[in-house]
């Protein structure tokens, strides 16, 4: 079994975005990434194989925010 790290990121229509680590699971296979498109924002849940990858994604997403 491996650990997988879920990052929830939200991209708002006005250009703001946010990202946070929201879950860690142990599983045989990486869970599927998901997304939801809403009226004012799009929300994604992306899974990463390492905490380093997850933290790098969070940092990059936060740098993109206006």
What φ, ψ does residue 47 adopt, rounded to 5°?
-105, 140
Q: What is the β-pairing status of strands 41-48 and 34-37? A: antiparallel
Residues 10-40 have pLDDT tens digits of 999 999 999 999 999 999 999 999 999 999 9
Model confidence at 49: pLDDT above 70: yes
CB 38 within 8 A of CB 18: no
Helix (H, G, I), strand (E, B) or coil at 58: helix
pTM of the entire structure? 0.91
Q: What is the β-pairing status of strands 34-37 and 2-12? A: unpaired
Own/partner pairs for 23-26, CB < 8 Å, 24+ apart?
Answer: 26/1, 26/2
The full set of domain ranges for the chain reads: 2-64
């Amino acid at each position: 079994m491996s650990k997988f790290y879920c990052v929830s990121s939200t991209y708002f229509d006005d250009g703001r975005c946010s990202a946070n680590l929201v879950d860690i699971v142990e599983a045989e296979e990486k869970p599927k990434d998901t997304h939801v498109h809403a009226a004012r924002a799009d929300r994604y849940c992306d899974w990463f194989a390492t905490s380093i990858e997850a933290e790098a994604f969070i940092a990059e997403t936060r740098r993109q925010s206006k």
